[in-house]
Structure 1
Amino acid sequence: MDVAVEGAPVPSARECPECRGPVPVHETYVEWCSACDWNVDPGAPDPEPGRIAAFRRRLAHAYGEQLAAELEHGADADGPRRRDASAALAQGVSVLVHSLTALLVVGGTLLIVLGWATGVQPVVGALLLGVAAVLRPRPGRLPKDAQVLYRADAPELFGLVDEIASALGTTGVHAVVVEPRPNAAVTTYGLRQRRVLYLGLALWEVLGPQERVALLGHELGHFAHGDIRRSRLTSAALHSLSVWYYLLAPTPPTRLLDRFVNACVFLPRCVALGLLQLLDGLTLRASQRAEYLADASAARVGSSAAATALMDRLLIARAVGEGLRRESVAAGMRGGRAGRAAREEAERGLWERLAARFTAVPEREYERLRRVAARRGHSVDATHPPTHLRRRLVAAGVPHTALVSLTGRREAAVAAELAAARAVTARQVIRDFAG
């Protein structure tokens, strides 16, 4: 899904080798035919590897199609009874998983205390306690090296978040983490489960003002609508089962002992995989529904047009990330004093160049990417509905005008509050890749 990385020269045309129709030629973009889809997707899909990711993609695509059709026609097949039953079963499986972790703690402690005379049992007990420590539920933490903003650091930004949250019937966040990646997310951290917004500058900088409002509306919509998969109990259980599955992975059978160990862990690994897929099946449909509802929240606060445009921006998110990396690598190609000057120059204009490059993507390229997304089932990750379905649902919904605006003085004030974090993050990006 390569998109523009340079200027925008005037395109010419050629004949389509399939249908003989005219094909615009642009030195920066893929040549493709809108009539017959010739060369619309010259690249190969690059899905996340692994059996678990493949299972989640299949569920995401199946549930995405079903839910999109139901919500588009105003039907809510996930009635309260169905949602409550799935949530109860998911919580039951999660409690079972955490009970196994608790049994490891109890068993390991007893082996150490009661088997001290044997010398072997305490070693086994310590091993069990070590595994339990890896599997234990743990509160989220704010990243140490990221730029973290609090209310006193950015009152206009937090005021914007508060206004959007109020329009959606929820509350704002306690912290905003500014990072370089082309994404955004919300979660909680600490024992008190404080809310935090992760704001990826590589995405934020290529959005228009109302698209930024829609992005914040989508993320805060997750708090407004809830999601059983994001709950502390369920998310910790999913983490524990994933760890179990990989801890029990077979080793290359180079010795007889390896074959014996692989045979011993085969059934436990199948149990871990089965429980993980069961918990995925119980929560992914609700998670898909929560994504669609969050998109509806984005349309409500930012406008339907801004939310639809945001879906298109998500299609170029990977290309934006690659563009950021190319900027960084190019700055690190030169050494010595000239190299330092080049890196400093790259840091100063990084976000401006990235924004200019990717806000100039023409509508024809977005149309190609939408067709590619429909073919590949493109999604943000293995747990999200396909992006083209999200866009279709937003575009087909009731048209909304913006409840919250980001214009004029307010836009400038938010940009000023992010200026220091933008500079530090640009420096981190350039130095990480440039060495």
Structure 2
Amino acid sequence: MAAAIEPSSATAIRRWESVRRQLGERLSRNLLEEVSREDLIATRRLRVRVSGRLALAYLLALLVHGAGLGAGVAGVMLLAGAWNNLFIPLGGVALVLLCIAARPRLPQAPDHLLSRERFPALHALSDRIAAALGARPVDGIGVCADFNANYRVAGWRRERYVEIGSPLMAILTPAEQVALLAHELSHGVNGDPLRGQFLGHAVDTLAAWGTAARPLAIGQLGQGMAAGPIVSLVGLPFELLMLTVSELLFAAARGMLWLVMRESQRAEYLADLLAATVAGSAAMRGVLEKTYLDEVVDAAVRVHALTTPHDAIEPAVRGAAAAVGAAELDAHRAASRSESWRTDASHPPTAMRVDQLLRREDLPPTVALLPADEQALAEEVSRLLQMSQTTLVGRKLEAIYG
């Protein structure tokens, strides 16, 4: 039987993916080596590092913001002038809409904020960690039903918030809970460029312009009209032009992200390291490896929603995480390590983040919990999961039954 001949296009794609993977692995490894050699004291003193990529990203962002403002001014001038033909007001409105699309879109505070009166242990712990990091205390702590946590700066007043995902927090040990909070608070001091509004707004603006320019369909402009085929044919070059403009805008947005992703990944490594100085290296490694259990916890929540939706969900979540064996964890580590080529992500692969901590001397915790503190924190974390139970169960039932 003759051997099958692989199409040349498929061969080219495979070769490109191989080159991309090799380049990504090399860049990821280089970044890991670079961060592993950094002096922690110097890193904490120099919170923002300006690289050539980052400088170019800021220049492009300045051009985007300038273009948005210029479009708004030009649009107002057209609308305020004489309308000699229909295209003048239409052009003015289009330019004003481009300016509106470029307006700042400020992150919002978490939806469910925790009061200090009801959750004093969490707030007291957050304040202790902020003091240990030399960071400003957060203005609020929120809770969500996601298997995650995040730090954000919200509103015009630049208020700082940490949002805790209750399923993740529930499966952590007390020391790991300290490490998770310390990691998120570290994002306030580690110079992550994407957490600033200037770059993020520019990327959002390019994406909004790309979406607005993209035609809904190609070659169907005259659909439903009496002279539909002729209208569609005449409009085809315009639609292709708009599609090209849309793709160029999206490419520019991706290019800006690529310019800053290396610095964002570096900031993630440094947040891990700064958190290790507070909670200890072992606790931070434990947090990272608990993030492998997202699907395990998700499956446990699904079973709980289908069988005992009105019972407390905490035993199911904790039990599922505790039942994961060493072999399954090794498989997760291997899968994470295979993602090392992804240089277009804001987070490095988890296995590489663990590697960075393993390469350094084990750091002892500087913020330790007394037994009474652990008990108070455990009680509050249980209440967090209770608060999220309706959302967790509702999501699963909606996904299953629609």
Q: Which residue of 2 aligns with 1:268?
A: 245
- Written as runs of structure 1 = structure 2, the 5 A alignment for 1:9-408 is 62-74=26-38, 83-115=50-82, 118=85, 120-143=87-110, 146-249=111-214, 251-255=216-220, 256=233, 259-328=236-305, 330=306, 342-345=308-311, 349-377=312-340, 382-408=345-371
Q: Structure 1: which 5+ residue stretches go unaligned?
A: 1-55, 332-341
Instruction: State the distance in 2 between where 1:322 and 1:249 align.
Output: 38
Distance in 2, Cα, partners of 1:314 & 1:257 = 54
**In structure 2, C-alpha distance between the alignment counterparts of 1:371 and 1:60, rounded to whole Å:** 17
What displacement does 1:291 show? 0.8
Paired AA for residue 172 in structure 1: P
Q: Could you tell me how far apart the structure 1 residues matched to 2:189 and 2:118 are?
A: 25
Q: Secondary structure at the match of 1:224?
A: coil
Instruction: Provide closer, same or farther for how the CA distance between residues 387 and 378 of structure 1 changes in structure 2, counting only shifts above 3 A.
Output: farther
Q: TM-score, normalised by structure 1?
A: 0.74
In structure 2, C-alpha distance between the alignment counterparts of 1:281 and 1:127, rounded to whole Å? 29
Q: How many residues align?
A: 363
Change (3 A) 1:223 1:303: same
What's the CA shift string for 1:153-193, capped at 9, x where partnerless? 42221111111111112122111120011011101111111
CA positional deviation for 1:116: 5.2
Identity of aligned residues (%): 27
Partner Cα separation in structure 1 for residue 48 and residue 367 of structure 2: 34
AA at the equivalent of 1:121: I
Looking at secondary structure, tell me which structure has more helix per residue: 2
In 1, Cα distance between equivalents of 2:332 and 2:275:
21
Equivalent residue of 2:252, what SS? helix
**CA pair 268-73 structure 1, distance change in 2 beyond 3 A:** same
Q: TM-score, normalised by structure 2?
A: 0.80
Q: Which region of structure 1 is more displaced relative to structure 2, 86-95 or 124-133?
A: 124-133
Q: 1: CA distance between counterparts of 2:22 and 2:152?
A: 25
Distance 1:230 1:308, change over 3 A: same
Moved more, 187-196 or 402-411: 402-411
Instruction: Say if 1:326 and 1:243 are closer, same or farther in 2 by CA, change over 3 A.
Output: farther
Whether contact under 8 Å (2:104, 2:201) holds in the other structure is yes
3-state SS of paired residue (2:104): coil
Contact 2:138–2:161 (8 Å) recurs in 1? yes
Matches within 5 A, 1:405-416: 405-416=368-379
- In 1, Cα distance between the equivalents of 2:21 and 2:135? 30
- Give the 3-state SS of the residue equivalent to 2:113 in structure 1: strand
Taking a change above 3 Å as real, the CA distance of residues 58 and 395 of structure 1, as seen in their structure-2 partners, is: same
Is the 8 Å Cα contact of residues 147 and 421 (structure 1) preserved in structure 2? no
1:407/1:82 Cα in 2 relative to 1: closer, same or farther (>3 Å)?
A: closer
Q: In structure 2, how many angstroms separate the alpha carbons of the residues matched to 1:308 and 1:246? A: 40
Determine helix, strand or coil for the equivalent of 1:136: coil
CA contact (8 A) 1:57 1:383 kept: no
**Residue type of the partner of 2:190?**
H
Q: 1:96 to 1:179 in 2, by over 3 A?
A: same
Over 3 Å counting, the alpha-carbon distance change for 1:307 and 1:269 in structure 2 is: same
Q: 1:344 to 1:175 in 2, by over 3 A?
A: same
Do 1:61 and 1:385's aligned partners in 2 also have CA atoms closer than 8 Å?
A: no
